[in-house]
Amino acid sequence: MPQGHHLHLDVPETALPVFETALSQLGGGYVTGGTDADGNVPVDVYLAEKPDRGKLNALIATAAAAAGVAEPAVQSQPLPDVDWLQQSYESIPPIRAGRFYVYGRHHAARDRPSGAIAFRIEAAQAFGTGHHESTQGCLLALDDLAKRGIRVRRGLDVGAGTGVLAFAMVRLWRCSAVAADNDPIAVRVCRQNARENGVADRVTSVVSEGYAHRRVRAGAPYDLVTANILAEPLIAMAGRLDAHLAPGGYAVLAGLLTRQARRVFRRHRAQGLVLDRRIELGDWTTLILRKPKHQARRHG
């Protein structure tokens, strides 16, 4: 059995939301303390096993660049051999976002609200358990699109993590969906979650850098694309999003701070996408974009 692991770093208070999103992609749980005299906030991350150093370094570097701060030093050490992770799960409440109810194995399924679309998602090893504002914003956006009668036959979730957004698509529209993530562990978790939530026959999970995997390309154009990642990757992949989105299709973009939303939207507007709606939760914004029906499909 893998041994638990503890990470500690001190992050400037202004950059904390960006680092929280980045570190959430490691899974596990994290605790923040009070701001010190230098304006830094202590962050402690508790993981089920030692993280891949390359992935950790990349997440820290991306977060620091997005926040415009120096990369903080990271202290890393194993945890005592106790079931600390299960203890922390028991303190995590279920999440309600629109019609969706996301809970863990420590919650009884019978406690879910009447009429809710429920998913059991464990808070381990992959991003997207529903507890972060960006994931909640995406779930609210999908619920809103479904209530408005938007038709979806094929969906794509880029940076799928646990797969909860792809699952939400197939439950709302009874469509097929591709869940793509560049982390093999996340893909494994997504496949397991798909089986446990009864959607494995309609969700295809693949290891992919953005839109690169042949299965992602083969499924295009998509009626709906979700991407709950960070602002910089969203900006970099705007052209590829447009190339994979069907005319009249919708895109739900998240993982961006409200102050970053305008820049992310401008890049996608340059591709011809228009703003349909924005959802703000705390410091985070979710963008719902639409591709006009008359716009021809681009290649890229």
pLDDT in tens, 19-34: 988 888 887 777 777 7
Domain ranges, residue 177: 132-290
Return the structure tokens found at 284. Answer: 């985070």
Same domain, 181 and 66: no
Asked whether residue 246 is domain-assigned, the answer is yes
pLDDT band (50, 70, 90) for residue 92:
low
Same domain, 164 and 255: yes
140 vs 96 pLDDT, higher one: 140
**pLDDT above 80 (res 110):** no
Mean pLDDT of the region 243-248 = 97
Q: Quick one: what percent of the chain has pLDDT higher than 90?
A: 55
Mean pLDDT of the region 76-99 = 66
Asked whether residue 69 is domain-assigned, the answer is yes
Domain at 263, CATH number: 3.40.50.150
Same domain, 59 and 136: no
Mean pLDDT of the region 110-115 = 71
pLDDT band (50, 70, 90) for residue 107:
low
**pLDDT above 60 (res 89):** no
**pLDDT above 90 (res 196):** yes
97 vs 35 pLDDT, higher one: 97
pTM: 0.72
pLDDT band (50, 70, 90) for residue 2:
low
pLDDT of residue 34: 76
pLDDT of residue 180: 97
Same domain, 152 and 223: yes
Q: Out of 60-74, 81-95, 184-198, which region has the weakest mean confidence (pLDDT)?
A: 81-95
Asked whether residue 212 is domain-assigned, the answer is yes
pLDDT band (50, 70, 90) for residue 91:
very low
Among candidate residues 197, 29, 69, the one with its CA nearest the CA of residue 121: 197
pLDDT band (50, 70, 90) for residue 299:
very low
* Residue that is last in its domain, among 87, 106, 122: 87
Same domain, 167 and 273: yes
Q: Out of 48-52, 66-70, 111-115, 190-194, which region has the weakest mean confidence (pLDDT)?
A: 111-115
Domain at 53, CATH number: 3.30.70.120
Q: Quick one: what percent of the chain has pLDDT higher than 70?
A: 86
Same domain, 286 and 139: yes
Among candidate residues 76, 20, 75, 71, the one with its CA nearest the CA of residue 50: 76
Same domain, 49 and 141: no
pLDDT of residue 192: 93
DSSP strand pairing (29-32 vs 274-281): unpaired
Same domain, 150 and 281: yes
pLDDT of residue 190: 92
Q: State the SS3 of the chain.
A: CCCCEEEEEEEEHHHHHHHHHHHHCCCCEEEECCCCCCCEEEEEEEECCCCCHHHHHHHHHHHHHHHCCCCCCCEEEECCCCCHHHHHHCCCCCEEECCEEEECCCCCHHHCCCCCEEEECCCCCCCCCCCCHHHHHHHHHHHHHHHCCCCCCEEEEECCCCCHHHHHHHHHHCCEEEEEECCHHHHHHHHHHHHHCCCCCCEEEEECCCCCCHHHHHCCCEEEEEEECCHHHHHHCHHHHHHHEEEEEEEEEEEEEHHHHHHHHHHHHCCCCEEEEEEEECCEEEEEEECCCCCCCCCC
**pLDDT above 90 (res 50):** no
Same domain, 61 and 162: no
Asked whether residue 259 is domain-assigned, the answer is yes
Mean pLDDT of the region 232-254 = 96
pLDDT of residue 300: 45
pLDDT band (50, 70, 90) for residue 125:
very low
pLDDT of residue 126: 45
Asked whether residue 297 is domain-assigned, the answer is no
pLDDT band (50, 70, 90) for residue 108:
low
Same domain, 58 and 141: no
Asked whether residue 268 is domain-assigned, the answer is yes
Count how many domains the chain has: 2
**CA distance linking residue 183 with residue 78, whole number of Å:** 22
Same domain, 142 and 282: yes
Give the mean pLDDT of the chain.
87
Same domain, 283 and 163: yes
**CA distance linking residue 277 with residue 287, whole number of Å:** 6
Asked whether residue 106 is domain-assigned, the answer is no
Asked whether residue 256 is domain-assigned, the answer is yes
